[in-house]
Chain A
């Protein structure tokens, strides 16, 4: 019988861009159990609603996480707009959709790079991030910011994308698509990459449902669920089907995310073609009074937002449950029985975003 020992993993670790700590119970090289301890990035930003007015809080919401910043701001605004019964202009809905899909492309490319770094393929890491810079350039051209760009306001958006800028964006997407196709071959066909990803960290469809996982992590186990299907923003006018894969291993997660980038590129193209002319914001009056819960599909999966307001300029309670929080139990399950050397890779395959998990 092998002896058991406990290895602490994190919070500072070369493969972790962000701090999370796991206590790994191991038997020789095999992980038997993993116990997480979180809170290294806990800021307590939900409590800031008591100090910032509800219009200012958009900026705090955008800083829940620097990767899905736009979507956090958007969903907070969406919840408050529902409470105030404000219907935002159609053009604003399309603009939000376009920026949201750009965020997904940027986030998935970032993840592909980190994954490549995780399994030791340095040049693939650099290639993914090189392509990602093109999206960041387009963020900068359309909004002025690279990662946190604050274009949301309650009632709509702050900036418009004119025709010439839109053409530039579409052209840039063509380039991205072409370059991504080149690295996709390596990600999906290369023997070394296959070796590291195939059959590693399997999560069955049943486990994915029981453990309430979300996003590409869940869809890679064959569950067909994508919150965009509910048709918020402009998604009701756009054609797409959730991307799923069957195997539930690390390879499937990589495959789902790569295909989602191509899907996002197509969604932006379609949205750009259908976007109506008009205003980009509806003026708001008074203070919100009521409560609303909303869900959106972030790059990492389903995120839950709740706002409760009581008719003053300060919101009573803001709650956000992010996809990484939902994916933690699933991660712990995939770690059971894996080899110690695969732990960093498996942690990466859920695309952890610790700062939004802990807020």
Chain B
């Protein structure tokens, strides 16, 4: 089973991420997973020390906006734009926002279920 997954509320995301930032951890990756029956997306943020890895997990219902981590971790902008284009996750205040042109796709938000 997956270890070190902490489920949190969307409003606590920035606060929790700040803790990792303060401890000198880096952002390993961000990904979304579409939930069945149009229940929105589950988003997992992974942070890494040298060889340790921990995850924060939030659930975003359709229409929920998620704050961007790109002010804390620069690379987040890539993951957040990707997540927006493929899953239709609304992310607020991305440092470099491509506004849906990160990928040019044949279908809109194709990974949404």
Taking Cβ atoms with an 8 Å cutoff, the residues of A that contact B are 35, 37-39, 42, 44, 46-47, 209-212, 225, 227, 229-230, 290-293, 295, 302, 304, 306, 308, 316-317, 319, 321, 325-326, 328-329, 358
Asked if residues B31 and A212 are in contact (CB atoms below 8 Å), the reply is no
**Given the complex, which residues of A lie within 8 Å of B31, measured CB to CB?**
306, 319, 321
Asked if residues A316 and B75 are in contact (CB atoms below 8 Å), the reply is no
Residue B75 contacts which of A47, A227, A306, A326 (CB distance < 8 angstroms)? A326
Cα(A212)–Cα(B44), bound, Å = 17
**Given the complex, which residues of B lie within 8 Å of A212, measured CB to CB?**
26-28, 73, 75
Taking Cβ atoms with an 8 Å cutoff, the residues of B that contact A are 1-2, 24, 26-29, 31, 33-34, 44, 46, 50-51, 53, 55, 73-75, 78-79, 96, 98, 101-105, 110-111
Asked if residues A316 and B33 are in contact (CB atoms below 8 Å), the reply is yes
Asked if residues B29 and A321 are in contact (CB atoms below 8 Å), the reply is yes
Residue A291 contacts which of B2, B34, B53, B98 (CB distance < 8 angstroms)? B2
Distance of B77 from chain A, by nearest CB (Å): 8
**Given the complex, which residues of B lie within 8 Å of A229, measured CB to CB?**
51
Cα(A329)–Cα(B75), bound, Å = 6
Cα(A358)–Cα(B98), bound, Å = 16
Asked if residues A290 and B1 are in contact (CB atoms below 8 Å), the reply is yes
Q: List 19 A-B contacts (CB under 8 A).
A: A39-B103, A44-B105, A47-B111, A209-B26, A210-B26, A210-B74, A212-B28, A212-B73, A290-B2, A292-B2, A293-B2, A293-B55, A304-B29, A316-B33, A317-B33, A319-B29, A326-B29, A326-B75, A329-B74
Known: A46-B111, A209-B26. A39 touches B102 (CB 8 A): yes
In the complex formed, the residue of B with least CB distance to A42 is B103
In the complex formed, the residue of A with least CB distance to B49 is A225
**Given the complex, which residues of A lie within 8 Å of B26, measured CB to CB?**
209-210, 212
Cα(A325)–Cα(B80), bound, Å = 13
**Given the complex, which residues of A lie within 8 Å of B33, measured CB to CB?**
308, 316-317, 319
Residue B46 contacts which of A46, A47, A293, A329 (CB distance < 8 angstroms)? A293
**Given the complex, which residues of B lie within 8 Å of A292, measured CB to CB?**
1-2
**Given the complex, which residues of B lie within 8 Å of A316, measured CB to CB?**
33
